Structure 1
Amino acid sequence: MSDTAAAAENGANPEHTRGGTYSVKGKEFTRDTRYINTRITADGQDGFPVEPGRYRLIAARACPWANRAIIVRRLLGLEDALSMGLAGPTHDARSWTFDLDPGGRDPVLGIERLQEAYFKRDPDYPRGITVPAVVDARTGAVVTNDFAQMTLDLSTEWREHHREGAPDLLPDAHRDEMDDVNRRVFTEVNNGVYRCGFAGSQEAYDDAYARLWTALDWLEDRLRDRRYLVGDTITEADVRLFTTLARFDAVYHGHFKCNRQKLAEMPVLWAYARDLFQTPGFGDTVDFRQIKEHYYIVHKDINPTGIVPVGPDLSGWVTPHGREALGGRPFGDGTPPGPVREGERVDPANTPLS
């Protein structure tokens, strides 16, 4: 989601948000999870049936919540069924913008700001303009920005359009366990880093910090003798954790003060993250330059100079991880996705995979 939206949802004055203020003095960060929960389903129960070519996923490589959707779409091979537009890494209080595209407009929707698609849905839309969002290309209006449900539906409702060999990211045999893991990872880790970074008091920060590191220690122990979070294959749970780990040393450790250790100093989690990063569909979606630009430029109250750090050294992401010794089958009975599509590749200068 947009960090501008996160700030507004945390109770920040809109005027302050325009100035890049994301924490509220004396308050802990509380994420408002009220999203547009319309679903795109095989039976079209909400009025939006799955139709190849009709919808456009709008994402941003900088955003961890959007990165989930990018990964799942690629793993499942939905590129031909669901097109993708990418907003640039920075934005103002109004909206994410399409400044990466020629003329500053999304080539399919023809809009400069994602805000336009939200206002097509509701001219008085009152909440933050968030990514990921799925837009109906016929009308130009947002259908949903419910990032958690979005990837679940890509696995289930869009199944008819999956590539041959697509992995099962939601295995029935492990669904209850996966749901439990996902809940803890979301509250304590995915959102936990934001609770640290946007804390408005020392007390709120101290509490968030303790909760985050309790959860990371739990994950370090859980993954010590198993290759993946749930079962012996990659699942949605791994996707959800990965996008936070990929940003940890680059931004969360310093920028959000999550600094007990670097990810690279936690041997199990660091090896696990490298294993996923080196798996097709994960690292090839990560753009470290855009990630750093987003956090360090947009969050002006946390980083008032707007200086983007040069480090950290990214070469460690492609070093051997040794996790194969734990067994497991990354794609289960499926196969890895093919090469990244032309036009969707990360700039080679921004990833150590190049």
Structure 2
Amino acid sequence: MTKARRTRPTIRDVAAEAGVSVSSVSRTLNGGIYTSAELHARIMRAVKRLGFEPDQAAQALRSRASNTIGCMVADFSNPHYTGMVSAAEEEFQRAGFLLMLAATKHEEAREAAFLSAVRRRQMDGLLLFAGDNSHKDFMKGLATLDLPCVTVDREVPDSVPVRVDHRGGALEATRYLIGLGHRRIALLTGSAAVLPSSERLAGYRQAHQEAKIEVDPGLIRPHMQGANTAFSSVCQLLQMTKSPTAIISLGTSMLAEVLEAITSNGLRYPQDVSIVCSGDTDLARHATPAISALSWDMNEVGRTAARLLLERIRDSDKPGSSAPVFLPTRLILRHSCAAPATRGRK
């Protein structure tokens, strides 16, 4: 009688025996450089017990893992993203991962294309920067990927969140202006559907509440990045019967429009209106006079996000913390703010 042929153990058997994922087994047996010693030892014990032949693991790795990270930003021309993404890419490169970048410009079709590419290329993890959380189809599609994910200034279920303290920064800036005597402070920020914008608004409101100053809703102007509407918005603000004596603005292209609007209305800063911007850009530093700015370490944000994602990929079989990692802002005072003018105001 012929003996039944013994079935050779598979990579899935090893994963089940070790209590880890198939991708973790593949990376370990292929010499992955970002595998913990404890995980490596557990997998190798399972390999030995089952008599698994490691050469099959390399083949499985090629079909199941790409050593690729997907990264999504709204607009890569934004200097805020440039520093963060560059720092993250250096961390991924050192760990043997390739970063694939997509700029979506807040367009749902581009977001859908990004998710499709992630699936086709079998990426190992996702790094998502601030985006519009009102795009429900994207959020649903993201939930089906089942990949390690780290988010920067964005709320995504089951992700590891890294956040800049935009609320604390806006609170500090608004308190500073109130301390100079300003009572009508305009806030120009992004769409309320984007987390940093909603956080800045919360800090702005808190400062007014602390000072027992009623907020005029007409002074709050949300804008989408790249919409090029800040110029007309500031012109409207400056032509109000009770115009703002100070403006808090985003520090990218929006700041340039703010400065142009002030000049076009025959006004000067800080003599007629004070300015604080969010994000310490080249324009803020080199304008005349230089502009007070909320600043944060963009490189540190990128490095922190990348390291957290690499840890999540490495320890994908362990429950990870979803508590936000907060990074601080600081207010850099320059020469764009003064006490409100008492003459010549409307």
Report the TM-score when normalising by structure 1: 0.28
